């Protein structure tokens, strides 16, 4: 997923993060730091990581003003080692100190997701199976967190309820069955290019979905052996996605079943923020 830093959702979330942190003013910085003091700040990786979010530094400090230089040394999607400088920023010391936590929060959270995702993408490398993210994201941060999963090597599943059809078990129950759910979706006139996927929970539902020409199947909560058996039965008649309890240590077992995709909610909801430091040095006359 390419990120557009000009997208109104991105600008809005940065503004809200700054307002949340600064409120009526940074009373500590304003009391201890001269208004005209200049400084240089460096964002430094404290551990190996896949980087994401460093480009948001420009938005954070751009909103605050008082910054005259920003250099990004390691871009989103690239790997960093402990001790690497991710970015350098120069400007008013007050601005750097006031904006550092928001800039760090974005980078640490997003790089944590990208790093966590990279372990999953690496686990299935060479199998032909791809990792998908899900909608299990932090409310209000989905666009950013899906950017992070893509930086880590995953493919983005649907962004929301509006850009793909995913018929899940509750939809099937409400519609009256697999056939009825598929027929209702087709009758509704899905726009061209919109993917239609249906979850199947039993062999009976699987056979019914294939009978009515489902072209993308979600197989949930199967063991690797069960998944392999079902995929042999499908025999290429539909694209297959596996989900449910996809633990990292079992991921390759699932990836070698012949599945096209594995979706992992934990890429976002269970990622741990990485450690990034911000160090300021003052400029002397």
pLDDT at 10: 95
CATH level 2 (architecture), domain 8-117+272-282: Alpha-Beta Complex (3.90)
Mean pLDDT in residue range 15-29: 97
Pairing of β 239-243 and β 216-220: parallel
3-state SS class at 245: coil
Mean pLDDT in residue range 191-214: 93
CATH number of 155-263: 3.20.20.70
Pairing of β 276-282 and β 38-45: antiparallel
Is 261 exposed, middle or buried, given 0-12, 13-18 or 19+ CB atoms closer than 10 A?
A: buried
pLDDT at 285: 55
276: phi then psi, degrees, rounded to nearest 5: -125, 135
Q: Which residue has the tokens 């003052």?
A: 282
Residues written for the chain = 285
Pairing of β 196-200 and β 130-132: unpaired
Tens digits of per-residue pLDDT, 107-165? Answer: 999 999 999 999 999 999 999 999 999 999 999 999 999 999 999 999 999 999 999 99
- Note the pTM of the prediction, 2 decimals: 0.95
Tell me the Cα Rg of the chain. Answer: 23
Domain ranges of the chain: 8-117+272-282, 155-263
Number of H helices, E strands in the chain: 11, 12
Tens digits of per-residue pLDDT, 136-148? Answer: 999 999 999 999 9
What six digits make up the tokens of 93? 């010391």
Active site residues: 101, 136, 168, 199, 220
């Amino acid at each position: 997923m390419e990120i557009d830093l000009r997208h109104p959702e991105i600008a809005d979330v940065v503004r809200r993060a700054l307002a949340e942190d600064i409120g009526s003013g940074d009373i500590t910085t304003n009391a201890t730091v001269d208004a005209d003091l200049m400084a240089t700040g460096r964002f430094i990786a404290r551990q190996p990581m896949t980087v994401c979010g460093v480009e948001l530094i420009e938005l954070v400090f751009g909103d605050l003003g008082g910054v005259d230089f920003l250099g990004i040394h390691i871009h989103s999607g690239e790997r960093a080692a402990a001790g690497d400088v991710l970015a350098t920023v120069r400007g008013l010391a007050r601005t750097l100190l006031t904006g550092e936590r928001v800039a760090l929060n974005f980078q640490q959270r997003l790089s944590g997701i990208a790093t966590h995702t990279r372990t999953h993408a690496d686990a299935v490398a060479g199998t032909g199976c791809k990792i998908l993210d899900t909608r299990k994201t932090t409310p209000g941060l989905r666009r950013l967190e899906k950017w992070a999963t893509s930086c880590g090597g995953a493919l983005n599943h649907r962004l929301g309820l509006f850009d793909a059809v995913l018929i899940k078990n509750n939809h099937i129950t409400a519609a009256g069955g697999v056939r009825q759910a598929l027929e209702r979706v087709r009758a509704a006139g899905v726009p061209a290019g919109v993917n239609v996927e249906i979850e199947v929970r039993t062999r009976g539902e699987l056979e019914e979905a294939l009978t009515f020409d489902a072209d993308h199947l979600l197989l949930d909560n199967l063991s690797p052996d069960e998944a392999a058996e079902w995929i042999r039965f499908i025999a290429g008649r539909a694209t297959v996605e596996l989900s449910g309890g996809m633990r990292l240590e079992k991921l390759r077992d699932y990836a070698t079943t012949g599945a096209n995709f594995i979706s992992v909610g934990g890429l976002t909801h269970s990622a741990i923020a990485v450690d990034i430091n911000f160090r300021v040095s003052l400029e002397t006359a």
